[in-house]
């Protein structure tokens, strides 16, 4: 108890096992340390793993008809003979996965996306 009073007060049983092995040269495994920590009532509560929230907008919403939610997708390709890239900006309707509109050009900027939405 004296050895874990300082910085080691927040250690779990595995770190305490490492500490006891390193500084006191004890031959002890983590299961024994776990039982001792449980008896001494110094175990910390397990961390709660929060469920991951889907960040995709379409999954977080209920869509019941067409034209309620659109997504944009940018793809690019290579023009071999001219040594250039081209961009394909698609506007996709989430309900039926159809292409509402698209833009093809050698550059794809915010003004091109705004023009596509108009």
Q: Over 90: is that where the pLDDT of 45 sits?
A: no
Cβ 72 vs Cβ 63: under 8 Å: no
**pLDDT value for 63:** 84
Q: Which among 70, 100, 101, 76 has a CA at the least distance from the CA of 88? A: 76
Structure pTM?
Answer: 0.49
Q: Compute the average pLDDT of residues 7-18.
A: 82
Confidence of residue 114 (pLDDT cuts 50, 70, 90): very high
Q: b/e per residue, 41-55, with b = 16+ CB within 10 A?
A: eeeeeeeeeeeeeee
Report the pLDDT value the prediction gives residue 84, as an integer from 0 to 100.
92
In the predicted structure, residue 4 carries a pLDDT above the cut 80: no
pLDDT of residue 89: 96
Give 13's DSSP letter: H
Kindly state the average pLDDT of the residues 41-68.
80
Helix, strand, coil share of the chain (percent; to 5): 30, 25, 45
Residue 113 has pLDDT above 90, yes or no: yes
Mean pLDDT score, 59-65? 81
CA–CA distance, 116 with 118 (Å, rounded to integer): 5
* Interval 48-77 mean pLDDT: 83
What's the distance, CA 17 to chain centroid? 31
Residue 57, pLDDT > 70, answer no
């Amino acid at each position: 108890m004296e050895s874990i009073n300082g910085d080691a007060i927040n250690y779990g049983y595995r770190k305490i096992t490492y500490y006891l092995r390193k500084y006191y040269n004890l031959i002890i495994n983590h299961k024994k340390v776990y039982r001792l920590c449980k008896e001494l009532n110094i175990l910390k509560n397990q961390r709660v793993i929060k469920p991951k929230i889907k960040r995709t907008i379409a999954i977080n919403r209920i869509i019941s008809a067409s034209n309620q939610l659109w997504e944009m997708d940018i793809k690019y390709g290579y023009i071999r003979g001219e040594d250039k890239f081209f961009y394909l900006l698609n506007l996709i309707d989430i309900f039926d996965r159809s292409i509402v509109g698209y833009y093809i050009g050698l550059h794809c900027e915010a003004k091109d996306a705004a023009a596509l939405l108009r």
